[in-house]
Every structure is written in C-alpha cells, then in structure tokens.
Amino acid sequence: MRDTLALAYDWPLTSAAAVTLVIVCACWFLTMPVASFESAGSTLTEGSASRGEIIFAAGGCASCHATPGQPDHLKLGGGLALASPFGTFRVPNISPDPIDGIGSWSVADLANALISGVSPAGRHYYPVFPYPSYTSMRSDDVRDLYAYLQSLPRVSGRAPPHDLFLFFRVRRFVGFWKLLFFREGKSEAILNEDPVHGRGAYLVETLAHCADCHSTRNIFGAIRPATRFAGGPDPEGTGFVPNITPARIGGWSEADLAEMLNSGRTPNHGRVGSSMRDVVANTSQLPESDRIAIARYIKSLPVRPTPHP
C-alpha cells in the first residue's frame, strides 16, 4: 500500500523532470550556433581588394563601423552607439588591427560572421548587425570584401560593451530568434529574367539591406513581411522611414532613383536627409550601372500600403 502511494506521488514528479530535461536538451541543440565555413583547410581564399571596395560601398559597412567624430570613413574602429528597444548596441572595431580588430581573422571567419551570424568563438551575433540580409552574399564577394578590409588602416582600441536589458544579454537566446526569423543563405529577392533587375535584387536585398530601414518590425525586432519596403518607424526610435514601394514613389522614374542614389537629389527638388544621406555616401561610389540596377529593382517592388505605427 505504502509503495503504491509513493509511486503515485513520484511518478508525476519524475515524468515532469524528464520532460523538462528533454525540453532543455532540445533547446540547447536548437539554439546552438552553427558556423558553416571551416577555417582550417578552407577553400575560401583571399580575393581582389579592388572588387571588394564595391562590395564594401554597397554593403554600407562604414555607415556603422567607421569611428564616429573623425572624417575618415575607412577607419573602422567602431564605437558608434545604436539605440534599440532592447538596449544600446556598440558597433565593434573591424579594422585589420590584429588585437582590437579582425586582423587575425581568416576569410572563413568573415564568411561565418556575414552569412551564418556566428563569431570565431562560436557565438551568435545580434541581428542589429544586418547579417539576415548579408546571409545571401556570394562567397566570391566575401573573399573580395576580406581582401579590401585587410587593406584598410589599422585602428587600435575597442568599443565599450553593449548595454542591453536583462536576458537580451544572453547571446544564446539569439538562437531562438534565428529559429523563428533567420534562414541562412536565403534572399527575399523577387526575381524576373532581366539580368539588370537581378543585379539590382542582389544589391537591394543582400548588400545594401534597404529593407532593414524601410520596413516595420515586430516586437522581436524582425521585419514584418507585409511592411517590407512600405516604411516604418526608424529602428533607432526617431522619425518615420518612408515607403519606397510604388504606393509612394510610383511617380519617380528609374533615372530619378539613380540620380538620388548618386547625388541625394529627389525629383521634387529636395534632398534626402538623415540616415539616407549616409546611404547615398555609399551608393554614390558604385558604378552608374549598379545605381540603375538598384533603381530598376525598386521600381519593380509590389505596391504596399504604408503601415500605421
């Protein structure tokens, strides 16, 4: 009688413990950072720095990584503070300094950061670093970008650590975010058979990550698909980034868009301001054919109504 009672009491407890253990193990494996490129014996070798310069400009790396408060956009000492609903992120040093920057990294390390969102130490990066867009970068472009980054001036000193709220500090939780919102290698591009449009798709969706600013995000900080390119509150919390689907800029021609990406001038005799000015500082360095390609892709976006915040 006593034994049966004990069993009746213990059984739910042991099974609850077993279920918890299974869940914990499952979570552990599901959130494990996976680096796709191996450093040792890697077939990824250094590419061409001159081609890498274009990837660097298109990717807008300097907009975040250049040391603030000095004029040289090629000094990538980091330190810029990025406000977000999760706390303040500090952009790291990615200059080729071997101690404070990424001078000791291999091409595979850079590929893992940009494509898998995983650090050389095997930790998740926060998606404020726009790897959810860079993930569809071609490995040739990563090689060229690597060669270019290595050619830039070394900057010593590290940025202060991120200042995040509570459990956002735990990088492992980014693993859950990735399960929900990240597919390695996936691009959101909508393609047709025109190669210029295809180049534009790659520039807009992968490298220049235009949707990262021109969309509305959900409470987890991921882009809400119905608002992609349809505008949204500035991710840093001030102002509203405009809709760039034909719902708003349908009257702009391909040439108008290409002109804005080169000089900042808009067809209504204005000039783009705020963070778009930094984007233009980058797109103005691209070949004209790339600005036309971006314009063609933007013109082809589906009409989406501006969301109300």
Where on the chain is the footprint of ligand HEC (CB under 6 A)? 59-61, 63-65, 82, 89, 91-92, 94, 102, 110, 113, 119, 125-126, 128-130, 134, 145, 204, 208-210, 212-214, 241-242, 244, 248-249, 257, 260, 266, 272-276, 279, 283, 294, 298
Q: Which two tokens stand for residue 252?
A: 């702009």
Q: How far is the CB of 91 from ligand HEC (least distance, A)?
A: 5
Of residues 1 and 121, the one with the C-beta less far from ligand HEC: 121
Compute the distance between CA of residue 172 and CA of residue 150 in angstroms, rounded to an integer. 30
Taking the least distance from each CB to ligand HEC, the nearer of 15 and 224 is 224
Contact 190, 300 (CB under 8 A): yes
Q: CB of 295: closest distance to ligand HEC in angstroms?
A: 8
In the bound state with ligand HEC, the residue whose beta carbon lies nearer, of 110 and 115, is 110
Between 20 and 302, CB nearer to ligand HEC: 302
How many angstroms separate the CA atoms of 295 and 261, rounded?
9
State the amino acid at position 307 in one-letter form: P
Give the number of C-alpha atoms closer than 13 A to the C-alpha of residue 166, restricted to the C-beta side: 2
| 58: nearest Cα among 261, 267, 231, 264 | 261
For the bound state, the minimum distance from the C-beta of residue 209 to ligand HEC, rounded and expressed in Å, comes to: 6
Closest approach, Cβ 102 to ligand HEC, in A, equals: 5
Report CA Rg, the chain: 22
Task: Evaluate whether 300 touches 254 at the Cβ level (below 8 Å).
Answer: no
Q: Least distance (Å) from ligand HEC to the CB of residue 182?
A: 13
Q: Which is nearer to ligand HEC, 54 or 260 (CB)?
A: 260
CB-based contacts of 17, cutoff 8 Å, min separation 6:
none
